Amino acid sequence: MTTPNRSAVIGLGSMGYGIAQSCLAAGHTTYGFDIAQAQMTRFAAEGGAPGALADIAPDLDAVLVVVLNAAQTEAVLFGPDGVVPNMRKGSVVVACATVPPEFAKDMEARCQTHGVHYLDAPISGGSAKAAQGALSVMAAGTPAAFAAARPVLDATATTVFELGDQAGPGSAMKAVNQLLAGVHIATMAEALTFGMTQGVDPAQFVEVISKCAGSSWMLENRAPHIVAGDYTPHSSVNIWPKDLGIVLDIAKSANFSAPVTAAALQQFIAAAGMGLGGEDDAAVAKVYARNAGLTLPGETT
């Protein structure tokens, strides 16, 4: 049985909001913080605890940081209003953003100087699984960090991979996952639009290929968005220039060539350049469609 604790989720986007809901559903006293006041108001209406972060920080058992990138993570933890200096010794930061492994190691060391545990804990599974408490977590940290984070891990994840006893391996594994995920989305978009040039209807593409060897989780999850003409962001285009950029930075430091990743990155950059950055990442299909003179479902000629 999960032991109730006091947790704050910082970053109430598509993933963070679901994580906050899962913590609340597990019986934790849960605070939600975001730069968008509407998200905080919405969460408070669902049972989120009231209070300013600076005031409640000394009483928290865990802070889950579910922001966009390393810069935002560092600002949350150690910026002018950083939470770590106000946290009690023995509490834990659960850092969920996709960041370089070396950054995760640095954050761990800086948290330790305050007596605060740090769990390098990137997440995977999408917004739906976040809300169901069914995420996969690629985690690394000290045994004490895992122990301190266990109540919120139990609330938010069905699978927790324990990848090392210090920060870094979790973020390394997330980079591997993001390489595949980003490439799979771009390749799905390429295959779907290529099929259209041959008279293959997008709905038929999903029906057939999802049952064939060429399928992937991303194809099965994202291609239906294109068929529906619905690009409401579950994970936005803007995520991928950042995440695939991290992959390529790591690859460069390892003298490793990653040409397929680089090609996928260019398609997401092109999509962002078309003004699609805030749309669902399946909108990368619009890059292919534009270049081939195709009309996707839901679009007008």
DSSP 2: P
Q: What is the spatial distance between Cα 45 and Cα 216, in angstroms, rounded to a whole number?
A: 37
Q: What is the spatial distance between Cα 55 and Cα 12, in angstroms, rounded to a whole number?
A: 19
Q: Per the residue annotation, which of 89, 105, 129, 174 is the catalytic one?
A: 174
Element holding 202 (H helix, E strand)? helix 202-209
Pairing assessment for the beta strands 123-124 and 135-139 based on DSSP bridges:
antiparallel
Q: What is the spatial distance between Cα 1 and Cα 298, in angstroms, rounded to a whole number?
A: 47
User: Does 174 participate in catalysis according to the annotation?
Assistant: yes
For 199, left (φ over 0), alpha (ψ -120 to 50), or beta?
left
Q: At what angle do helices 239-253 and 169-197 cross, to 10 degrees?
A: 120
How far is Cα of residue 27 from the mean position of the Cα atoms in its chain? 24
Decide: 44 and 50 in contact? Cβ < 8 Å.
yes
- Helices marked H in 46-168: 53-56, 70-78, 101-112, 126-132, 143-156
**Token match 């695939």: residue?**
244
Q: Which residues are catalytic?
A: 174
